[in-house]
Amino acid sequence: MSSLPTFADVQAAARRLEGVAVRTPLLENARVNDRLGGRLFVKAECLQRTGSFKIRGAYNFLASMTEADRRKGAVGWSSGNHAQGLAEAGRLLGVRTTIVMPADAPALKVANTRASGAEIVLYDRVKDSREEIGLGIARKTGATVVPPYDHPWILTGQGTAGLELAEQAKALGVTLDAVAAPCSGGGLSTGVALGVKGVSPGTSVHAGEPAGFDDLARSLKSGRKESNEKLSGSICDALLAPTPGDVTFPLAQTLLGPGLVVTDEEVLDAMEVAFREFKLVVEPGGAVALAAALTGKLPVAGRAVAVVCSGGNVDHATFIRALSRERPAA
C-alpha cells in the first residue's frame, strides 16, 4: 500500500466488523469528574470480544485477505491480546492460526489464545526474535503473516474504536477536546486518531506509554524512529514494542499530539480507579491513557476528554496488587 490509510478505510473496516465487534460503551463517572474538574469519558474496550480491542484489527485483516490466502492459514506474534484477537478471528472465519508468544506472557492470555484453537509457539523475549520465528513458519507453511500493529488493515480495524468513540460523544452532544489511547507499536493510537478526526477534526489525539518504553513519544519529539533500551521490565506487558512501526510512525507524525508517559505505579492506581469508579477490570497496558488523565499529564480540568481502556486480560496476582494499594486521594 503506497499511501497512508485514511478515514474511509476505517469506515470500510467498520462495515466488515458490524455484528462481530462489540460496540463498547463510553462511560462517565460524576465523582471522577468532580475530582478532575472536567468531563472524562472512558471507552471500555476491556469489554470487547476476547477482552481487548485487538479483535478489530485481526478480523479486519483476515476478512480483507483473499479466500485462497485464508486457506493457507495465518501466523502472528504477540504477548497476548493480538494473539487472542487473531485466534478468535481465525475461529470465526475458519482460518488456521499459529501464534508466536513470549514465554513470560500472562498465563491467562496463553490459555485464552489456545482456547480459540490457535497453535502456540513460545519464545524467549530477550534472546529470540519473534519476527524471525514467525517469518520462518510462514515460509514453511505458506501462511500469511498478520503483524500486531504495523499494517493498514490492522490499524484501520483498530481505528473503528475511535470512530465509535467519536460517534458516541457526538450523540451525547459533547465536543471532545482530546482523546488518548495506549500505545505499543502505534496501531491503536494512530487508528483511533484516524477514526476520531474523521468525525471531530479539532480533537487532539495522544498516545500513552509506560516510562522506559516511550519510544513513540521520543520519536515524535526527535522526528525520527527511536528505540527502547530495554525489551522487558514494565508491568505493562502489552506495550513493549521496541520501536514505532514503518506504517504507524508517519501516520503518528501527521495525526498525534505529544506523547504521554506514565509510571507503573500510576498505572496501578488507574487500574484501581477503573475498578472502583467505573466497575471495569483493566489490565496494566490498557490503563496507561486513563493514568495520564488521572495524573494530569493529559489535562481534564475545564475540558471534555476521552481515554481508551484497551484491554482487561490481567492475571489475578497483578489485579490483586492493584486493588490492594492505598486508595489515591479523592
CB 275 within 8 A of CB 323: yes
CATH topology of domain 7-53+151-323: Rossmann fold (3.40.50)
Task: Please tell me the CATH code under which domain 54-145 is placed.
Answer: 3.40.50.1100
Question: Is 215:252 a contact under the CB 8 Å cutoff?
Answer: no
Q: Do domains 7-53+151-323 and 54-145 have the same CATH topology?
A: yes
- Among 159, 130, 265, smallest CA distance to 210 is for 265
Q: What per-residue confidence (pLDDT) applies to 276? A: 97
The predicted structure's pLDDT at residue 252 = 97
How is the chain split into domains, by residue range? 7-53+151-323, 54-145
Distance spanning both ends of the chain, measured CA to CA: 49
pLDDT at residue 327 in the model: 67
Look at residue 104 in the predicted model and tell me its pLDDT. 84
Rounded CA-CA distance 126/229 in Å is 12
- Note down pLDDT in tens along the chain; length 330 residues: 458 999 999 999 999 999 999 999 999 999 999 999 999 999 999 999 999 999 999 999 999 999 999 999 999 988 788 999 999 999 999 999 999 998 988 787 888 899 999 999 999 988 999 889 999 999 999 999 999 999 999 999 999 999 999 999 999 999 999 999 999 999 999 999 999 999 999 999 999 999 999 999 999 999 999 999 988 889 998 888 889 999 999 999 999 999 999 999 999 999 999 999 999 999 999 999 999 999 999 999 999 999 999 999 998 999 999 999 876 554
Q: Which of 283, 277, 278, 262 is nearest to 330 (CA)?
A: 277
On the CB side of 154, CA atoms within 13 Å amount to 21
Q: Any idea which residues carry the catalytic annotation?
A: 54, 310
Which grid cell is 248? Answer: 504507524
